[in-house]
Structure 1
Amino acid sequence: MSKSMRRRVAVTGVGLVNPFGGLDAQDFFSRLMRGESAVRAYTHPASPSPLIQPAGVCAGFDPETMLGRPLAAVTDRYSQLGVAAGFAAWDDAGLPREGGGSDEAGVSWATGVGGTLTFEKGYTDFYVHGKDRAHPLSVVLAMNNAAASHLAITLGLGSACLTYSVACASSAVSIGEGMRRILAGESDLVLAGGSEAPLSFSVMRAWEAMRVVAQGDETSAYRACRPFQKGRTGLVLGEGAAALVLEDWDRAEARGARIYCELAGYGQSCDHTHLVKPDASGQTRAIRLALREAGLAPDEIDYVNAHGTATREGDPAEIEALRQVFGEHASRLMVSATKSMHGHLLGATGAIEALIAVLAVHRGEVPPTAHLDEVADDCLGVRHVMGEGLRDVPVRAALSNSFAFGGSNAVLAFRAVA
């Protein structure tokens, strides 16, 4: 296929379940613009010993209300969050749930830890309560492709139904690979995103043991995650899900769909240096690949939703990668890390941050890095958005960065509708 005949990919629907509560993506974005934080001190209800961590919790989420009792009964929480977000994106795209699917539409989903709550309950039943058998649906509740499968079944999507698990880059990969399927002519529409419910006792303890989790009590937890800040102390975990409806541009126009923006590029690379220590050169390769596929020059990018986890080594590596790619333009490049407000959703974080980048391009607004008031010396060189978000700014194109343990990097490039 010649470059002039290359398909284009439109983003026609957005949906999420987020720690602020509800499914309204526009309200979520408006809260981010005000610098609000959904992070709170979380006490694990089943903890055999005291465990209080700052976390982004979808406290008001009722799966029976969102999905109906039959579906809620056969799904792990990560699937429940994912199906609800997928439904919200589908509805936002103006697609009917009944009869709206087709064999040319598919699912591209992601999760990092999958049904960890189901596994933990099984272990607790065996080793704490002495039960002699597992729940009969344990396997189908916990499997990593459960969320994607339920979306395909309930919406009637007969094209490929795939699940990606690439640690914290998982859902950026799922969105990028969904785009590739449309560009290759394998699907006309892909429901892409990711979901995560990582607030099990074992997962929380495991992250705490790595000494990368920020601490905070009832009064300070909301500002525990401070990306790029001098004296930052680490990340906070969050749960939730986000989804984008990706559609062949001509198909979207033919049905009169609202187009938020174009998903124009996707870059993926591997650091191949260390299992957990990020490498700026690997991140640089992913950014440049995304720009090349999108046909965008570095100075055409106005905003980057940074991976920005607030860890000591992760933040400066990302800023160094941006300086290497963008050169003099880096000082004008608007950068923010929204994990400061919604937490780190692990395998779902790339999807929620891609959704934020989509709305930044569509609305011409850029959310801030909350709680950032003194940029660390090793994070200087870009235009950090601090305080409240920037309104009425040109966002011709935006990047969403996702960098993972294992050295996997994924970058998505979104371009405004011409």
Structure 2
Amino acid sequence: MDRAAAAEPQYQSGFGNEFATEASPGVLPVGRNSPQRVAHGLYAELISGTAFTAPRAVNLRTWTYRLRPSAAHGKAHAVAHPCWLTAPFTEVAAPANRLRWNAWPEPAPGTDFVDGIVTVAGNGSAETQSGTAVHVYRANASMRDRYLMNADGEMLVVPQSGALDVHTEMGRLRVAPGEILLLPRGVHCRIDVPDGAARGYLCENYGAPFRLPELGPLGSNGLANPRDFLAPVAACESATGPVRILRKFLGGFWELERASSPLDVVAWHGNLAPYKYDLAHFMAMGSITFDHPDPSINTVLTSPSEIGGTANCDFVIFPPRWLVMEDTFRPPWFHRNVMSELMGLVRGVYDAKAEGFVPGGISLHNCMLPHGPDAATFERASTEALAPRRLEDTMAFMFESRHVFRPTAQALAAPNLQPDYDEVWRGFQSGNPA
């Protein structure tokens, strides 16, 4: 398909499926994995998202059949990106404070998805392939004849405002607020903004690829269902003409020129693919007697660490849902957690904060820093009559990690950092035991 053809994206469903799709019939090999002599003079190329010898249950790889091999390009040259940073972040000390930011300001006109990325915090190391970096993106221009390939990590995109048209080697996806997008490490993409402007959150995962969490005692159903994840069908970009490819590699940025689009895949088969997922399909679980369940009950995707049950990064959501527990304080309890929590808000109001946590903003509660509902929320929740309550028009989320999120110097110096966040916990009255 030429770049001029802007038909609606088409999808195939299932998380981790062995997909097979072709934009032109008769391209995919039948009965063989990947013969080097491909129909129609195309080129076979393997993209491996895990080691060749990774266990079958977690092995990720896709065979692509393309107009030209992706190796057909010249030398890359180093370029700068002033605001997209890569862990480890050691330029400033990580403060032992709870932190909260308002939404980031609009970018200058002509800013595309890549140029509008600002790094807020992160942990681990891209070189050791552990940890994550959390960014915000702001865009008011599409990527024209420009493509991105991130060798440092996969990218989990959480739109907050405005849709994104995401063109990848495997095909095209449109993702809007209320949905998420998962772009595998090393896959080329080009991102357009059909609404004229878009903003949201981006988790760059250096560690194990995101996967669906195990369900354990929940049984065979609940949380995110595999069939609700949508992967694209093959859609070849055959247009020629010089294009630029930006590679992110060990935190550096390298630009090269190519004579045609790197999205020239006519057919592909495998289980390494971009996905989108509508968060409205999430089957929220919770208590129907007493007590407030741990937030892990709302895990959509998890990137496991080498320690069983301890995540490199969990993606957790707080969607519209019923609260019906009896004799229970319903907002999240006060707590200190060995896991570190970075939260964002897509829309509405988060039920643990009366004000100050706004769509597009971020809060950060690192390892063992006490937090919980603010004074106003505590007072309201302590005095209201308990009855079944429906939380509506809200979508908050959390990136939770075994590693401390170290804020970047640019985030700590940002004018939208709230200087008085600690004040929300003033005003609690002392208890009066008999």
Same fold at TM > 0.5: no
Report the structure, 1 or 2, having the larger strand content.
2
- Which has the higher relative contact order, 1 or 2, with Cα contacts under 8 A spaced 6 or more apart? 1
* TM-score, scaled to structure 2: 0.30
